[in-house]
Amino acid sequence: MSEWPSLSLSVEERIQLVEAIWDSIADHPESLPVTGAQRAELDRRMAAHRKDPGATLSWPHVRDELKRKM
């Protein structure tokens, strides 16, 4: 694996490279494939939310609860 030019980069530089690659992927989420199983799960969750929207928790609430537990 030493033939990869990126291995000559420092660890910090490689982390920055990975972050840049990830950001470039995240900028176009529509290009990521969704499997049939993932689509079915998303549909199931959306149907459950429509049936009882009050059963969900907001992200700020969940985040605050997690912070309290830490």
Dihedrals φ, ψ of 54, to 5°? -70, -10
Other CB atoms within 10 Å distance of the CB of residue 9: 13
Q: pLDDT band for position 2 (50/70/90)? A: low
The pTM of the full predicted model, rounded to 2 decimals, is 0.49
Q: How far is CA 38 from CA 12, 20, 31, 43, 44, in A?
A: 34, 26, 15, 9, 10
Q: What is the pLDDT of residues 17-43, one digit of tens each?
A: 999 999 999 999 888 899 999 999 999
